[in-house]
Homo-oligomer: A and B are copies of this chain.
Amino acid sequence: MSTLHTDRDYESDLRKLREQLLLMAGRVEEMIGESVRALVDRDAALARKTIDSDHKVNRAELAVDEQCLLILVKRHPMASDLRFVTRALKMVTDLERIGDLAVNICERAIDLAPLPLLKPYEDIPRMSDVVQSMVRDAIDAFVSSDSDKAEEIMQRDDEVDELYHQVFREILALMIQDPRVVECGVHLQSVAKYLERIGDHATNLAEQVIFMVRAKDVRHAGKLGG
Protein backbone atom coordinates (compact mmCIF):
# COMPACT_ATOMS: atom_id res chain seq x y z
CA MET A 1 0.00 0.00 0.00
CA SER A 2 2.77 2.39 1.02
CA THR A 3 4.84 1.52 -2.06
CA LEU A 4 1.83 2.08 -4.28
CA HIS A 5 1.27 5.43 -2.64
CA THR A 6 4.93 6.41 -3.16
CA ASP A 7 4.82 5.26 -6.76
CA ARG A 8 1.77 7.37 -7.35
CA ASP A 9 3.41 10.42 -5.73
CA TYR A 10 6.52 9.85 -7.79
CA GLU A 11 4.49 9.61 -10.98
CA SER A 12 2.68 12.77 -10.03
CA ASP A 13 6.00 14.60 -9.44
CA LEU A 14 7.22 13.57 -12.89
CA ARG A 15 3.89 14.49 -14.49
CA LYS A 16 4.03 17.93 -12.91
CA LEU A 17 7.53 18.44 -14.34
CA ARG A 18 6.32 17.41 -17.80
CA GLU A 19 3.37 19.81 -17.60
CA GLN A 20 5.57 22.69 -16.45
CA LEU A 21 7.91 22.14 -19.40
CA LEU A 22 5.03 21.95 -21.89
CA LEU A 23 3.49 25.18 -20.61
CA MET A 24 6.83 26.99 -20.65
CA ALA A 25 7.63 25.79 -24.17
CA GLY A 26 4.17 26.84 -25.36
CA ARG A 27 4.70 30.34 -24.01
CA VAL A 28 8.18 30.59 -25.56
CA GLU A 29 6.82 29.48 -28.94
CA GLU A 30 4.12 32.18 -28.72
CA MET A 31 6.77 34.80 -27.92
CA ILE A 32 8.69 33.97 -31.12
CA GLY A 33 5.49 34.34 -33.17
CA GLU A 34 4.58 37.63 -31.47
CA SER A 35 8.06 39.10 -31.91
CA VAL A 36 8.08 38.49 -35.66
CA ARG A 37 4.48 39.69 -36.00
CA ALA A 38 5.51 42.90 -34.20
CA LEU A 39 8.35 43.28 -36.70
CA VAL A 40 6.29 42.62 -39.82
CA ASP A 41 3.28 44.73 -38.70
CA ARG A 42 5.59 47.49 -37.32
CA ASP A 43 3.65 47.09 -34.09
CA ALA A 44 5.84 48.55 -31.32
CA ALA A 45 3.03 48.12 -28.77
CA LEU A 46 2.91 44.34 -29.36
CA ALA A 47 6.72 44.25 -29.11
CA ARG A 48 6.59 46.00 -25.72
CA LYS A 49 3.82 43.72 -24.46
CA THR A 50 5.86 40.64 -25.42
CA ILE A 51 8.97 42.03 -23.71
CA ASP A 52 6.91 42.63 -20.55
CA SER A 53 5.67 39.04 -20.56
CA ASP A 54 9.18 37.54 -20.45
CA HIS A 55 9.08 37.46 -16.64
CA LYS A 56 6.62 34.55 -16.88
CA VAL A 57 9.21 32.50 -18.72
CA ASN A 58 11.83 33.46 -16.14
CA ARG A 59 9.53 32.32 -13.34
CA ALA A 60 8.82 29.08 -15.17
CA GLU A 61 12.55 28.34 -15.40
CA LEU A 62 12.96 28.67 -11.64
CA ALA A 63 9.90 26.49 -11.01
CA VAL A 64 11.18 23.71 -13.29
CA ASP A 65 14.61 23.82 -11.66
CA GLU A 66 13.00 23.51 -8.25
CA GLN A 67 10.83 20.60 -9.33
CA CYS A 68 13.90 18.79 -10.72
CA LEU A 69 15.82 19.22 -7.45
CA LEU A 70 12.80 18.05 -5.47
CA ILE A 71 12.57 14.86 -7.55
CA LEU A 72 16.32 14.22 -7.25
CA VAL A 73 16.22 14.61 -3.45
CA LYS A 74 12.96 12.80 -2.72
CA ARG A 75 12.95 10.09 -5.38
CA HIS A 76 16.57 9.27 -6.26
CA PRO A 77 15.51 8.56 -9.85
CA MET A 78 17.49 5.97 -11.80
CA ALA A 79 17.99 5.09 -15.45
CA SER A 80 15.44 6.72 -17.77
CA ASP A 81 13.86 8.85 -15.02
CA LEU A 82 17.26 10.22 -14.04
CA ARG A 83 17.97 11.04 -17.66
CA PHE A 84 14.58 12.73 -17.94
CA VAL A 85 15.21 14.94 -14.90
CA THR A 86 18.82 15.87 -15.77
CA ARG A 87 17.82 16.64 -19.38
CA ALA A 88 14.95 18.80 -18.11
CA LEU A 89 17.49 20.80 -16.07
CA LYS A 90 19.42 21.56 -19.24
CA MET A 91 16.46 22.05 -21.57
CA VAL A 92 14.85 24.65 -19.38
CA THR A 93 17.95 26.82 -19.84
CA ASP A 94 17.57 26.62 -23.62
CA LEU A 95 13.89 27.51 -23.37
CA GLU A 96 14.64 30.52 -21.20
CA ARG A 97 17.25 31.75 -23.67
CA ILE A 98 14.85 31.34 -26.58
CA GLY A 99 12.53 33.67 -24.63
CA ASP A 100 15.41 36.16 -24.29
CA LEU A 101 16.04 35.99 -28.05
CA ALA A 102 12.36 36.71 -28.74
CA VAL A 103 12.80 39.76 -26.48
CA ASN A 104 15.85 40.78 -28.58
CA ILE A 105 13.72 40.52 -31.75
CA CYS A 106 11.07 42.71 -30.11
CA GLU A 107 13.75 45.32 -29.28
CA ARG A 108 14.80 45.40 -32.94
CA ALA A 109 11.13 45.58 -34.02
CA ILE A 110 10.79 48.72 -31.87
CA ASP A 111 13.95 50.23 -33.43
CA LEU A 112 12.76 49.36 -36.94
CA ALA A 113 9.11 50.48 -36.61
CA PRO A 114 9.80 54.17 -37.46
CA LEU A 115 12.44 53.45 -40.18
CA PRO A 116 11.59 53.12 -43.89
CA LEU A 117 10.86 49.53 -44.95
CA LEU A 118 13.97 47.96 -46.52
CA LYS A 119 12.06 45.30 -48.45
CA PRO A 120 8.94 43.19 -47.89
CA TYR A 121 9.57 40.58 -45.23
CA GLU A 122 9.44 37.08 -46.66
CA ASP A 123 12.32 34.96 -45.45
CA ILE A 124 12.22 36.21 -41.86
CA PRO A 125 8.62 35.03 -41.26
CA ARG A 126 9.57 31.72 -42.92
CA MET A 127 12.53 31.35 -40.55
CA SER A 128 10.20 32.11 -37.67
CA ASP A 129 7.69 29.45 -38.74
CA VAL A 130 10.41 26.82 -38.95
CA VAL A 131 12.01 27.59 -35.57
CA GLN A 132 8.60 27.73 -33.85
CA SER A 133 7.78 24.29 -35.20
CA MET A 134 11.20 23.06 -34.04
CA VAL A 135 10.63 24.23 -30.46
CA ARG A 136 7.10 22.80 -30.32
CA ASP A 137 8.11 19.45 -31.78
CA ALA A 138 11.23 19.15 -29.62
CA ILE A 139 9.17 19.45 -26.45
CA ASP A 140 6.54 17.06 -27.82
CA ALA A 141 9.33 14.61 -28.63
CA PHE A 142 10.67 15.06 -25.08
CA VAL A 143 7.44 14.32 -23.26
CA SER A 144 6.61 11.41 -25.57
CA SER A 145 10.23 10.08 -25.62
CA ASP A 146 10.22 10.09 -29.44
CA SER A 147 13.82 10.13 -30.65
CA ASP A 148 12.92 9.70 -34.35
CA LYS A 149 10.94 12.92 -34.23
CA ALA A 150 13.86 14.59 -32.47
CA GLU A 151 16.21 13.53 -35.23
CA GLU A 152 13.93 14.96 -37.87
CA ILE A 153 13.92 18.30 -35.98
CA MET A 154 17.70 18.49 -36.13
CA GLN A 155 17.55 18.24 -39.91
CA ARG A 156 15.18 21.21 -40.06
CA ASP A 157 17.96 23.40 -38.63
CA ASP A 158 19.77 23.16 -41.99
CA GLU A 159 16.86 24.99 -43.59
CA VAL A 160 17.08 27.70 -40.92
CA ASP A 161 20.81 28.13 -41.51
CA GLU A 162 20.27 28.34 -45.25
CA LEU A 163 17.54 30.97 -44.86
CA TYR A 164 19.79 32.92 -42.49
CA HIS A 165 22.67 33.06 -44.95
CA GLN A 166 20.27 34.01 -47.74
CA VAL A 167 18.81 36.90 -45.70
CA PHE A 168 22.27 37.97 -44.58
CA ARG A 169 23.74 38.12 -48.10
CA GLU A 170 20.69 39.81 -49.57
CA ILE A 171 20.74 42.59 -46.95
CA LEU A 172 24.51 42.98 -47.27
CA ALA A 173 24.10 43.59 -51.02
CA LEU A 174 21.39 46.21 -50.37
CA MET A 175 23.63 47.98 -47.85
CA ILE A 176 26.58 48.06 -50.24
CA GLN A 177 24.35 49.54 -52.96
CA ASP A 178 22.82 52.20 -50.74
CA PRO A 179 24.51 53.31 -47.51
CA ARG A 180 21.30 55.01 -46.34
CA VAL A 181 19.82 51.59 -45.59
CA VAL A 182 22.76 50.41 -43.46
CA GLU A 183 21.08 51.12 -40.11
CA CYS A 184 17.92 49.30 -41.10
CA GLY A 185 19.91 46.47 -42.71
CA VAL A 186 22.04 45.85 -39.64
CA HIS A 187 18.93 45.59 -37.44
CA LEU A 188 17.35 43.10 -39.84
CA GLN A 189 20.53 41.03 -40.00
CA SER A 190 20.38 40.87 -36.21
CA VAL A 191 16.79 39.63 -36.29
CA ALA A 192 17.82 36.89 -38.74
CA LYS A 193 20.75 36.02 -36.45
CA TYR A 194 18.44 35.79 -33.40
CA LEU A 195 16.14 33.41 -35.28
CA GLU A 196 19.13 31.35 -36.35
CA ARG A 197 20.20 31.13 -32.69
CA ILE A 198 16.70 30.05 -31.70
CA GLY A 199 17.13 27.26 -34.26
CA ASP A 200 20.39 26.27 -32.53
CA HIS A 201 18.68 26.17 -29.13
CA ALA A 202 15.86 24.06 -30.59
CA THR A 203 18.52 21.72 -31.99
CA ASN A 204 20.04 21.48 -28.51
CA LEU A 205 16.59 20.54 -27.18
CA ALA A 206 16.27 17.80 -29.79
CA GLU A 207 19.76 16.45 -29.01
CA GLN A 208 18.86 16.16 -25.33
CA VAL A 209 15.75 14.15 -26.27
CA ILE A 210 17.81 11.70 -28.30
CA PHE A 211 20.34 11.40 -25.48
CA MET A 212 17.54 10.70 -23.04
CA VAL A 213 15.75 8.11 -25.17
CA ARG A 214 18.72 6.25 -26.57
CA ALA A 215 20.87 6.64 -23.45
CA LYS A 216 23.80 7.62 -25.58
CA ASP A 217 25.15 11.00 -26.46
CA VAL A 218 24.60 12.18 -30.03
CA ARG A 219 25.94 15.63 -29.29
CA HIS A 220 29.15 16.34 -31.18
CA ALA A 221 28.75 13.04 -33.04
CA GLY A 222 30.37 14.50 -36.13
CA LYS A 223 32.63 16.83 -34.23
CA LEU A 224 34.56 14.51 -31.94
CA GLY A 225 37.21 13.33 -34.36
CA GLY A 226 40.52 15.13 -34.39
Contact = CB atoms under 8 A, between A and B. Distances in A.
A159 interface: no
Interface residues on A, range: 35 or more
A78 B204 CA distance: 28
Contacts of A172: 182-183, 186
Contact of A86 (B59, B69, B219): B69
Interface in A83-140: 83, 86, 89-90, 93
A76 to B, nearest CB: 5
A191 to B, nearest CB: 13
Given A93-B93, A225-B55, A62 B189 contact: no
Given A55-B220, A182-B182, A86 B72 contact: yes
Interface in A167-217: 172, 175-180, 182-183, 186, 189, 193, 204, 217
Contact of A182 (B176, B193, B217): B176
A54 B220 CA distance: 10
A224 B82 CA distance: 29
A68 interface: yes
A5 interface: no
Interface in A67-84: 68-69, 72-73, 76, 78, 82-83
A58 interface: yes
A80 to B, nearest CB: 12
A52 to B, nearest CB: 6
A65 interface: yes
Contacts of A179: 175-179, 182
B59 A220 contact: yes
Interface of A: 52, 54-55, 58-59, 61-62, 65, 68-69, 72-73, 76, 78, 82-83, 86, 89-90, 93, 172, 175-180, 182-183, 186, 189, 193, 204, 217, 219-220, 223-226
Given A59-B220, A172-B182, A172-B183, 6 more contacts: A55-B224, A65-B217, A89-B89, A89-B90, A93-B93, A176-B182
